[in-house]
Amino acid sequence: MKTPLLLGVAVRVVRDAARATKRKAELMVKCVTVETLSSLLGLSGMVVREYAEEKQAEREILHIFCEHEHEMAVCPQCGQITDRIHESKERCIRHLDIWGRSTFVHFAARRFECEGCGKRFTEELSWIEGQRRESRAYELHVYEQCQHMDQAAVATQEDLHPETVRLIFQRWAKRTVQQQQRRQVRRLGVDEISLRKGHKQFAMVLSDLDCHCVIAVLAERSQEAFEQWLDRLSAAERKAICVVSMDMWGPYRGVVERKLPQAEIVADRFHVTKHLNEAIAKIRCTLQAKADKAGYELLKGTRWILVRHRQDLNPAEEAKLQAVLAAFPELRTAYLLKEKFRMISDKIQDRPRAERFLKAWVYEAQASGLSQLVKFTQTLKNWWNEFLNYFNDRVTSGVVEGLNNAIRGTIRRAFGYHVFENFRLHVMVEHGKLATPLPPI
pLDDT digits (tens, 9 = 90+) for 6-55: 444 455 555 566 666 666 667 777 777 777 888 888 898 899 999 999 98
* pTM confidence score: 0.78
Mean pLDDT, all residues of the chain: 88
CA distances from 194 to 147, 224, 249 (A): 21, 18, 16
Alpha helices, H only, 368-432: 371-382, 384-388, 390-393, 398-413, 420-431
Closest alpha carbon to 372 in 299, 286, 290, 298: 286
- Please tell me the least confidently modeled range out of 344-348, 362-366, 395-399: 395-399
Domains of the chain by residue range: 45-145, 187-268+396-431, 270-393
Per-residue model confidence (pLDDT) at position 25: 67
Tell me the pLDDT band of 381, cut-offs 50, 70 and 90.
very high
pLDDT above 70 as % of the chain? 93
Q: How do 243-246 and 187-196 pair as beta strands?
A: parallel
- Rounded distance, CA 215 to CA 147, Å? 17
As to burial, measured by CB atoms within 10 angstroms (0-12 exposed, 13-18 middle, 19+ buried), residue 47 is middle
Q: What is the mean pLDDT of residues 395-407?
A: 89
- Rounded distance, CA 139 to CA 128, Å? 9
Tell me the pLDDT band of 1, cut-offs 50, 70 and 90.
very low
| Residues 131, 133, 134, 139, CA torsion sign | negative
- Rounded distance, CA 256 to CA 376, Å? 24
pLDDT at residue 199 is higher than 80? no
pLDDT at residue 243 is higher than 50? yes
Please say whether the beta carbons of 291 and 299 come within 8 A: yes
Per-residue model confidence (pLDDT) at position 188: 95
- Please tell me the least confidently modeled range out of 131-140, 190-199, 227-236, 263-272: 190-199
Tell me the pLDDT band of 249, cut-offs 50, 70 and 90.
confident
pLDDT at residue 64 is higher than 60? yes
Per-residue model confidence (pLDDT) at position 17: 61
Per-residue model confidence (pLDDT) at position 4: 43
- Please tell me the least confidently modeled range out of 24-28, 118-122, 335-339: 24-28
Per-residue model confidence (pLDDT) at position 180: 79
pLDDT at residue 343 is higher than 90? yes
Q: What's the DSSP call for residue 33?
A: -
Tell me the pLDDT band of 178, cut-offs 50, 70 and 90.
confident
Per-residue model confidence (pLDDT) at position 385: 95
**Most confident listed range (21-30, 87-96, 191-200, 413-422):** 87-96
pLDDT digits (tens, 9 = 90+) for 124-137: 898 998 889 999 99
pLDDT at residue 431 is higher than 80? yes
CATH superfamily of the domain spanning 187-268+396-431: Ribonuclease H-like superfamily/Ribonuclease H (3.30.420.10)
pLDDT digits (tens, 9 = 90+) for 263-285: 999 999 989 999 999 999 999 99
Angle at 189 between CA 187 and CA 193, to 5 degrees: 165
Q: What is the mean pLDDT of residues 290-317?
A: 90
Q: What is the mean pLDDT of residues 215-242?
A: 93
Q: How far apart are the first and last CA of the chain?
A: 34
Per-residue model confidence (pLDDT) at position 18: 61
Q: What is the mean pLDDT of residues 90-117?
A: 93
pLDDT above 90 as % of the chain? 63
Q: What is the mean pLDDT of residues 413-433?
A: 88
Per-residue model confidence (pLDDT) at position 278: 94
